[in-house]
Structures are given as structure tokens and as C-alpha cells.
Amino acid sequence: MGELGLDEVIFTFMATKVKRATVYFDPQLHRAIRIKAAETDRSISDLVNDAVRQSLLEDLEDIAAFEERSAEPNLAFEDVLNQLKSDGKI
């Protein structure tokens, strides 16, 4: 497959309906991301999209865990400590 012409690149870019955003990185973090992008032959945008996607998936997992445990009783931290002490565990 040959290289895409500029018109094809622009069309492909527009067809994906990506949104642009300006993100400011700490200089050392930006350097690390640039190096990782170069070493993995990926764009910084791909790396950032994957990281954000992963973070959102972790949030969904946390929400599911909270919902799963919503019926459990709330315990005061002091009560838990006292119980551990009375059980001889601390």
C-alpha cells in the first residue's frame, strides 16, 4: 500500500471525528511521553488516549465495586480498631 496524499490524510483525520484539546504536561513527563512514543512507534495522542481510557475503565470498576458492596454496613474506623485489639490482632 502506498503513502497517502495530503488530501487523503486530511479526509482520514476528519472522518475519524477526533476532538482536539490542548494539554499541558510537566516538562519531564512530556519528555518521557515523547520518548515512549518514539520507542513504541505510536503518537503522543495515542498514548494519552489509551491512558485516559484506562483511567476511565478503572473508575467504572470502582463504581461497580461500590455498588456491589452498597448493602454492607458502614463501620466506624474506631470500632474496627477496637475489634482488632480485642481479637488480639493489634
C-alpha 4/C-alpha 11 separation (Å) is: 10
Q: What is the pTM of this model?
A: 0.63
65 band by pLDDT with thresholds 50, 70 and 90: very high
Query: How big is the chain by its Cα radius of gyration, in Å?
Result: 24
C-alpha 44/C-alpha 9 separation (Å) is: 18
For residue 80, give the C-alpha cell. 474496627
Residue 7: phi, psi to the nearest 5?
-60, -40
Q: Which residue has the higher pLDDT, 50 or 7?
A: 50
Under 8 Å between Cβ of 84 and 90: yes
